[in-house]
Amino acid sequence: MSRRTLDDTLTFIARVDKASTPAEIADAVVDVARPLGFSHVLAGIIPIPGMTAEQQISNVVLHRWPKAWSERYFTKGYLFDDPTIQRVNASTEPFLWSELEPTYRNTPAPTRVMGEAREFNLGCGFTVPMITLNGQTAGFSLASERAEVPSVLRGQLQLIAMYAFARALGQKYKPAPVNLTPREMDILQWMAEGKSDWEISVILKVSEHLVDKIARQLRAKLNATNRTQTVATALRHNLIR
Amino acid sequence: MIHIVTAENIGSYQYEMEQAYRLRHNVFVDEMGWDDLRKPDGREIDQFDDGRALHMLYIEEDRVLGYQRMLPSMRPHLLTEVLPHLCEGDFPVGPHIWEWTRYCVTRQHRDRGRILSPVGNLLLSAIVEWGLASGVQKIIIEMNPLWLLRLVQLNFRVTPLGLPQQIGKDSIIAVTAAFDRRTLKKLQEVRGNVVPAVVAQPEADQRLRA
């Protein structure tokens, strides 16, 4: 039993390693969690209090969650009343949502959030708290109308959560590819070596006006406001030889 | 900075090794409550601290602030002797696989606000630097599963050897973690410099590096 669970987990890890989009990762998660009854997954960095709905949504890295519920949840700021979020901030042990029920039974706000989630077929859930390399708190939740997690499988779900989350996080924050022309690349290299527009124009035997124009193109492409930031961003993108 | 101590140079590290054994006792027995390891003299030494063990010490102004031990997988080690039930298949064994144990950092130099502490980063970097130079590619780790995300984010390729198990009040999983240049680069990026972590090691290892 346990050996098979490990093999399933290793197969899952191999599949996630090959996945190239968050949607493929979510597919892999739902496939491996379906036998337990789960059909939805949501994972992200836990927002800090005061963040707008847009900021909260931008923290999500995996989303296979009822859309209507997500919209309602984020626009109404339910996150800050959500008892599962409170638990993720307080403890690193994975938990079933049903285990939290006694902690909020007589408090209206969390009772409403969990009650409304049930109306969107998310009555039963399992959440894995995580801590990222930067020290941020993160959560990974599986949910559906009805599911069961035998205690021996909690560890498996914890592993699945961490691999899926790490992979999705890596994809989300991978710098978007920047395509530069050969001329832009040339000028960028000289900029990285600290040459001025005039010096570059002499080296490349072109007009200073052209160098200035291309430097501005580079700023736009790399979303930078000045020369230093252009070079720093280019370094991060591995564009400097 | 990190000093590597083996049978070859342990003679010149007596004072530091004494501190290392006491640090191990402070952290694992007094703090984490691993009572099986308790020793009347306050020095935590076990059957694996033999001539084949490789110690890595983080030393600052003669004080040992961090420690970890590497054991060759070709000889008995914790996974095979003490925690075999954490490994469901064959034990990972080979000259390129070593086991990482007894990682500890003094309380004052630990992770602040849950970020990997500079001492922790240097200890991990030391494993990767040493491994890349000596042909070691993979380490066996028994750890809290919470560490898994960080290791993956640091570009270790982590493979579970079994599922997490409850041992006392701790959840623990055995994994192998393979590393390469990308791992070293990521660790350097996180600590913001490329200065080598290892500053001293036995002659034999230096010859290996040259």
Nearest CA in chain A to B152: A166
Report how far Cα A241 is from the mean position of its chain's Cα atoms: 30
C-alpha distance from A106 to closest chain B C-alpha (Å): 30
Strand partners, B69: B55, B101
Q: What is the per-residue pLDDT across B116-142, written as a single tens digit (0 to 9) for each? A: 888 999 999 999 999 999 999 999 999
B208 assigned to some structural domain = no
Given a cut of 60, whether residue B45 has pLDDT beyond it is: yes
Closest CA to A109 of A91, A89, A85, A130: A85
Q: What confidence tier does A34 reach under pLDDT thresholds 50, 70, 90?
A: very high
Q: What is the per-residue pLDDT across A78-128, written as a single tens digit (0 to 9) for each? A: 999 999 999 999 999 999 999 999 999 889 999 999 999 999 999 999 999
Q: What is the per-residue pLDDT across A194-210, written as a single tens digit (0 to 9) for each? A: 889 999 999 999 999 99
Extract the tokens encoding A211. Answer: 């160098």
Q: What is the per-residue pLDDT across B101-119, written as a single tens digit (0 to 9) for each? A: 999 999 988 876 677 888 9
Nearest to A2 among B146, B163, B173 (CB): B163
Average pLDDT, chain A: 91
B209 assigned to some structural domain = no
Extract the tokens encoding B152. Answer: 């993956």
Spatial strand order in the sheet of A95-96: A60-64, A40-45, A137-144, A124-131, A95-96
Nearest to B164 among A10, A130, A158 (CB): A158
Q: What is the per-residue pLDDT across B140-160, written as a single tens digit (0 to 9) for each? A: 999 999 999 999 999 999 999
Span A132-155, mean pLDDT? Answer: 93
Higher local confidence (pLDDT), A235 or A103: A103
At B208 the pLDDT is 54
Report how far Cα A143 is from the mean position of its chain's Cα atoms: 18
Same domain, A196 and A98: no
Same domain, A107 and A195: no
Q: What is the per-residue pLDDT across A40-70, written as a single tens digit (0 to 9) for each? A: 999 999 998 888 999 999 999 999 999 999 9
- Total domains in chain B come to 1
Given a cut of 90, whether residue A9 has pLDDT beyond it is: yes
CATH assignment at residue B39: 3.40.630.30
A187 assigned to some structural domain = yes
Angle CA B37–B41–B46, to nearest 5: 35
Type of residue at A25? I
CATH assignment at residue A228: 1.10.10.10
Identify the domain containing residue A165 by its residue range. 2-172
Given a cut of 90, whether residue B203 has pLDDT beyond it is: no
Last-in-domain residue among A145, A172, A199: A172
Report yes or no: A89 at the B interface, CB cutoff 8 Å.
no
Q: What is the per-residue pLDDT across B10-35, written as a single tens digit (0 to 9) for each? A: 999 999 999 999 999 999 999 988 88
Q: What confidence tier does B210 reach under pLDDT thresholds 50, 70, 90?
A: very low
B65 assigned to some structural domain = yes
Report yes or no: A10 at the B interface, CB cutoff 8 Å.
yes
Question: What beta strand segments (E) does B81-183 contain?
Answer: 97-105, 138-143, 157-160, 165-167, 170-178
- Rounded to whole angstroms, how far apart are CA atoms B179 and B137? 6
Q: Between residues 126 and 165 of chain B, which touch chain A (CB distance below 8 Å)?
A: 145-146, 148-150, 152-154, 159-160, 162-165
